[in-house]
Chains A and B, each alone.
Chain A
Amino acid sequence: MAASLVVIVITALLLRRSIPLLGEHSLTELLLSSKWFPMRGDFGFLSFIVGTLVVTGISMALAVPICILSAIYLSEYASSRVREIVKPLVDLLAGIPSVLYGLWGVSVVVPLVRNHVAPLFGVRTSGYNALSGGIVLAIMVFPIIISVTEEVLRAVPFGMRESSYALGATKWQTVKHVVLRSSSTGVLAAVMLGFSRAFGETMAVIMVVGNVAKIPGSVFDPVYPLPALIANNYGEMMSLPLYDSALMLSALLLLLVVGGFTIIARVIQQRILGW
């Protein structure tokens, strides 16, 4: 039984792997070259990898502080009534289809970045860039980071908090020095799950990120993340030699990165919450 699930995972990997028969190019060459000219047979993934990392990085930088602070509030300060109202709302955020975030991104975030944020830095941009993508992704990962962080914070034993209070600490001191420190690996797990989610997001990101295959010079440059690469070009996959392998390799990369992060995060969660 366990075997069958493992087999599913491995099959997915193998099939993916059997297809990118990129015997023509070495893996390092593929990963480190930024020359993407499929018609010439150049398949350098670097700009896509960097693009994905930049957009995910921006979303993490925005989401992590907001989510941790929100989770602390929900777990330590909010009354149970507030919690009862807010938590379902946060879960609702998780259920919204990604295209709708894309719509929101196109109509709210892109103009915001173009007309208000970029001018602050003296930059001109269409608004379809990494920053817009990062903002949209950040909102999309709010639910997962908040809910997992809140879970691990609440798992900190009451006795430990009591000891801190007994020594005369305030609530915030207890949160800062005892609760957060005790749950730090769990919070890391939450962030990793958020990272995975942002890394693999496709639809919302395609709509706002510009889809230009160049390594961005700043957050105001367009980028082309891996999921977008697959989604935009699957139709032409068979028209160029090795193009299909290249797209499959992208999918494989996504699978490995997201899978890797998720495994680590879930193992941490398991240790902490005792599954």
Chain B
Amino acid sequence: MEIDNPQIVVDRLNVYYGNHQALKDITVSIPSKGITSIIGPSGCGKTTLLKSFNKLIELYGNVRTTGSVYVDGVDILREIDDVTELRKKVGLITQTPNPLPMSIYDNVAYGPRIHGTKDRGELDEIVERCLKAAGLWGEVEDRLRNPAADISVGQQQRLSLARTLAVEPEVLLCDEPTSALDPISAKHVEEQLFKLKRNYTIVFVTHILRQARRISDYVLFLYMGELVEHDRAKTFFEDPKDPRTKAYLDGEIS
């Protein structure tokens, strides 16, 4: 089905880790704004696909890619020099929070600072705004100087969201952001992302089908490195076309 104005276009992308092919000939468009989920059993390549959108896969040794990934029309795999600018536009929230070894304030301010923002007033404003958008402000506003390592995992994950928002991305990549959290925190994080989907393109990797059903506007199904099916969420879940999709949705493969 046709998507007008996709933010990300993938064209015949193949990714190899050494001799192992993680993604096979992926071609798909990711719509602007809204939540696009990437689902599939573990090991099918969801994270690889996600991390190719901000070129973070190059951190893993011995990676080879063929094909293209266009973000707003620019082929990020071949045409860009400065990957740090790309990562301003395309942010990532990982499965485990990984707070930086600094205070809560500095965690959020880290992004703007490394991109050149120095003014204290500006930083204060950014920190407050992003912590609010992540739904964390109320809980930490009186202890911004405390180490980020001291807050709970659920709070750390929302902090992760806040610091990603601080660099003003257009795209939010989320790699199973709630899998490591307790149900209440997971709900919190999910709610915040849901609120943000109006203004951001969110690409959300998950292996929890119920979660995908809850939040997706658009769904991609990956199986063993191949893109099996992709469609609007309603159509995808109610009327899957490919037998593998049906099998997965029915819980026969996982």
Contacts and interface: CB of A to CB of B under 8 A. Distances in A.
Q: Is chain B found bound to chain A in the same assembly?
A: yes
A57 to B, nearest CB: 29
A61 B91 CA distance: 41
A160 interface: yes
B54 interface: yes
B179 interface: no
B59 A165 contact: yes
Contacts of A165: 56, 59, 87
A241 B115 CA distance: 70
Interface string B128-168: 00000000000000000000000000000000100110010
Contacts of B94: 159, 162-163, 166
A168 B115 contact: yes
A154 to B, nearest CB: 14
A167 B167 contact: yes
B114 A177 contact: yes
Contacts of B115: 168
B111 A168 contact: yes
Contacts of A167: 87, 91, 110-111, 114, 163-164, 167
Contacts of B164: 166-167
A181 interface: yes
B98 A163 contact: yes
A169 interface: yes
Interface in A132-162: 157, 159-162
A152 to B, nearest CB: 13
A178 B56 contact: no
Tell me what chain A mostly uses at the interface: helix, strand, loop, or mixed.
Answer: helix
A63 B86 CA distance: 39
A173 B115 CA distance: 10
B100 A168 contact: no
Nearest to A174: B114
A98 interface: no
A159 B56 contact: no
Nearest to A160: B98
Interface in B74-116: 84-88, 91-92, 94, 96, 98, 100-102, 110-111, 114-115
Taking residues whose C-beta sits less than 8 angstroms from the other chain, chain A's interface range is: 10 to 19
Given A165-B87, A168-B87, A159 B59 contact: no
Given A159-B94, A162-B94, A163-B160, A168 B167 contact: yes
Interface string A42-65: 000000000000000000000000
A98 B120 CA distance: 53
Contacts of A169: 84, 110, 114
Interface residues of B, number: 24
Contacts, number: 60
Contacts of A157: 98
Which of A159, A163, A177 has the most B CB atoms < 10 Å from its CB? A163
Nearest to B84: A168
A166 B92 contact: yes
A126 interface: no
Nearest to B88: A168
A166 B91 contact: yes
A101 B100 CA distance: 42
A174 to B, nearest CB: 9
Nearest to B86: A168
A169 B88 CA distance: 9
A159 B51 CA distance: 13
A169 B94 CA distance: 16
A170 interface: yes
A164 interface: yes
A170 to B, nearest CB: 6
Contact of B98 (A162, A170, A177): A162
Contacts of A178: 100-101
A245 interface: no
A125 interface: no
Interface string B183-212: 000000000000000000000000000000
B98 A168 contact: no
A167 B84 CA distance: 8
18 contacts: A160-B98, A162-B98, A163-B98, A163-B100, A165-B59, A165-B87, A166-B164, A167-B87, A167-B91, A167-B110, A168-B84, A168-B88, A168-B111, A168-B115, A169-B84, A169-B110, A178-B100, A181-B102
